[in-house]
Chain A
Amino acid sequence: MSSAHFRYVLRLGDNALVLGQRLSEWCGHSPFLEEDIAMANTALDHIGRARMLLSHAGAIEGDGRDEDALAYLRDEREFGNFLICELPNGDYAFTLVRQYLLDVYHQLLFEALSASADEELAAIAAKAVKEAAYHRRRSGDWVLRFGDGTDESQARAQAALDELWSYTGELFTPDSVDEAMQAAGIGPDLEQLGARWREIVEAHLAAATLSVPPADWQADGGREGLHTEHMGRLLAEMQFVQRAYPGLDW
């Protein structure tokens, strides 16, 4: 149970860290200055969330690993984030459609987790849910602008959605860790959460004149550390300094 608990919180931290890392790549390269600011701000919220979750995971584990030991000194197979978080940013439509799909997920998830039996996790979730709500307002607005904007933006948003859709199944398919956490009152009922997510997302996509892609192939494996080929490079970049100069203070 405590190992499932550790793994569960660690995975939440990995999602925040890996998505924050991707968002931070936009810094200085966004379509206009206000978006540079918004991107950096969103990235910062995710890194902040990752720090709280990884510190808490380290405390549950009880082996003295802190946020940095967990972020910088684990290998790819030990990371439990969803694959959707690690996919390269693509164009602005890809980044923001992904963000929208995950912001809705995070808002529902953290709403549920703010009543978690894990009080520390509940406190983190209570903060994160507020951030997720304003992230979702922004990414949701962009989805509307892209879908109901120009022909080009519509095509780009639809292409992004078609690719990303196959990476959303993983979010709502409980594995043994999720089941143990739900049974312990720590984690939510993922199937219920998934139904609610679909309802919100499908209504919003319709308003944006985007079509829900067919549910054919679904990617899976992130939670067991079976990542895409993009993950190794993301970690090589993120972990470089700690790996090249081990055991130092920075």
Chain B
Amino acid sequence: MDHQSHSAEQARFEAIIAAEEKIEPRDWMPEKYRRNLVRQISQHAHSEVVGQLPEGNWITRAPTLRRKATLLAKVQDEAGHGLYLYSAAETLGVSREQMVDDLLDGRAKYASIFNYPTLSWADVGAIGWLVDGAAIVNQISLCRTSYGPYARAMVRICKEESFHQRQGYEIMRTLAAGSAAQKAMAQDALNRWWWPTLMMFGPHDAESAHSQQSMQWKIKRQSNDELRQKFVDQTVEQARHIGLEIPDPALRWNEERGHYDFGEIDWDEFQRVLNGNGPCNRQRIGDRRAAHEQGAWVREAMLAHAEKQRRRAAGRAA
């Protein structure tokens, strides 16, 4: 492509972004925009897939049949979200096989929150309430992202996530209103999940590697710190309503800002888990690799059978 038509394409791309319209798969886009999106969407897809594991850990031990059914349906939804997101990423010219290989070989990341263990039934409630709650704050903002297939996937995913968040909160409310042991279980889960949930929004704006460019391209619509504040403001009230305490001595209402002030995140822990050294990083990837490797013969059988069928059909047609 000559220089002139390239810059005409670039101008058209920028005009679409400026007009708050969507970039579609066939539109020209800068290579860095494409790569940035592939990274973000595939990371999001991997998070849904790996996210099946900590909650799946409690499906077989759910305390009632209603809870078991709801949790199964939820984990099934998460796998479905993984599927739409992989499809959205595939519109950018990357195959699912490549993305899965990148995850299993450790080249691609997934949400660090899933590297923490689910130790009690209350953790299932805490994940729904806090982790899905944080994901929604992020994803509502992403419904306005500039890449069409990603924005549309987000609209669909947000609807289901808000349902999951309400279910999680309802588990926590039931426990908090229950026996002393149940309430302690709920408080312990909140204590363990609170800070890792705040880390989900990423580093402070000043330190965020991809943020500035992503904001210019309107891939990202609100900054990490803005989204984190929004989550804290809504969640503090929800905790208070069910009589649980947020584990942050620095937490207080700031009249002047009209927001809650809160304590500093342990950024060493954030880096440690991000770099592969959280409590469950090895286990989660190990489980995904085992599923993939043990499933190899199943995928081969499926392809071999389809090939036999194709040849038989061709034989009949000839």
A interface residues, Cβ below 8 angstroms from B: 17, 21, 24-25, 27-37, 40-41, 43-44, 47-48, 50-51, 54, 67-68, 71-72, 91-92, 144-146, 148-150, 152-153, 156, 237-238, 240-242, 245, 248-250
Choose one: B67, B69, B295; the contact of A250 (CB below 8 Å): B67
Name the A residues within 8 Å of B79 (CB-CB): 28, 33, 36-37, 40
Is B72 a contact of A40 with CB atoms below 8 Å? yes
Is B64 a contact of A144 with CB atoms below 8 Å? no
Q: Which residue of chain B lies nearest to A55 when distances are taken between CB atoms in the complex?
A: B65
Is B72 a contact of A44 with CB atoms below 8 Å? yes
Complex interface residues of chain B between 42 and 76 (CB less than 8 A to chain A): 49, 52-53, 56, 59-69, 72-73, 75-76
Name the A residues within 8 Å of B287 (CB-CB): 28-29
Determine the distance from Cα of A32 to Cα of B72 in the docked complex, in whole angstroms: 17
A148 touching B305 in the complex, CB below 8 Å, given contacts A33-B83, A248-B178: yes
Determine the distance from Cα of A40 to Cα of B70 in the docked complex, in whole angstroms: 11
Determine the distance from Cα of A22 to Cα of B61 in the docked complex, in whole angstroms: 12
Determine the distance from Cα of A152 to Cα of B297 in the docked complex, in whole angstroms: 7
B114 to chain A, nearest CB (A): 11
Check: B179 CB closer than 8 A to any chain A CB. yes
Count of residues in B whose CB is under 8 Å from the partner chain: 48
Q: Which residue of chain B lies nearest to A43 when distances are taken between CB atoms in the complex?
A: B72
Is A150 a contact of B76 with CB atoms below 8 Å? no
B interface residues, Cβ below 8 angstroms from A: 49, 52-53, 56, 59-69, 72-73, 75-76, 79-80, 82-83, 86, 121, 171, 174-175, 178-179, 181-182, 287, 290-292, 294-302, 304-305, 308
- Please, could you name 30 A-B residue pairs with CB atoms under 8 Å apart, sorted by A? A25-B59, A27-B52, A27-B56, A28-B52, A28-B56, A28-B75, A31-B292, A31-B298, A32-B299, A33-B79, A35-B298, A36-B49, A43-B72, A51-B65, A54-B65, A68-B64, A145-B301, A146-B301, A149-B305, A152-B300, A153-B300, A153-B301, A237-B61, A241-B121, A242-B63, A245-B179, A245-B181, A245-B182, A250-B174, A250-B175
Q: Which residue of chain B lies nearest to A41 when distances are taken between CB atoms in the complex?
A: B76
Q: Which residue of chain B lies nearest to A24 when distances are taken between CB atoms in the complex?
A: B59
A-B contact count (CB 8 A): 138
Determine the distance from Cα of A29 to Cα of B286 in the docked complex, in whole angstroms: 11
Q: Which residue of chain B lies nearest to A155 when distances are taken between CB atoms in the complex?
A: B297
Name the B residues within 8 Å of A50 (CB-CB): 65
Name the B residues within 8 Å of A51 (CB-CB): 65-66, 69
* 17 further interface pairs, Cβ-Cβ under 8 Å (given A47-B65, A148-B308): A28-B79, A31-B292, A31-B296, A36-B52, A36-B79, A40-B72, A40-B73, A40-B79, A44-B69, A44-B76, A72-B64, A149-B304, A152-B297, A153-B300, A156-B297, A245-B181, A248-B178
Determine the distance from Cα of A107 to Cα of B291 in the docked complex, in whole angstroms: 30
Is A27 a contact of B72 with CB atoms below 8 Å? yes
Determine the distance from Cα of A24 to Cα of B73 in the docked complex, in whole angstroms: 11
Determine the distance from Cα of A71 to Cα of B69 in the docked complex, in whole angstroms: 13
B214 to chain A, nearest CB (A): 26
Choose one: B61, B86, B290; the contact of A238 (CB below 8 Å): B61
A67 touching B65 in the complex, CB below 8 Å, given contacts A28-B52, A92-B298, A145-B302: yes
Determine the distance from Cα of A68 to Cα of B72 in the docked complex, in whole angstroms: 17
Determine the distance from Cα of A74 to Cα of B80 in the docked complex, in whole angstroms: 35
Q: Which residue of chain A lies nearest to B308 when distances are taken between CB atoms in the complex?
A: A148
Name the A residues within 8 Å of B53 (CB-CB): 28
Determine the distance from Cα of A250 to Cα of B125 in the docked complex, in whole angstroms: 11
Is A31 a contact of B68 with CB atoms below 8 Å? no
Report the 9 A-B pairs with minimum CB-CB distance, sorted nearest first.
A31-B295, A149-B301, A153-B301, A28-B52, A40-B76, A250-B63, A241-B63, A31-B298, A27-B56
Is A240 a contact of B61 with CB atoms below 8 Å? yes
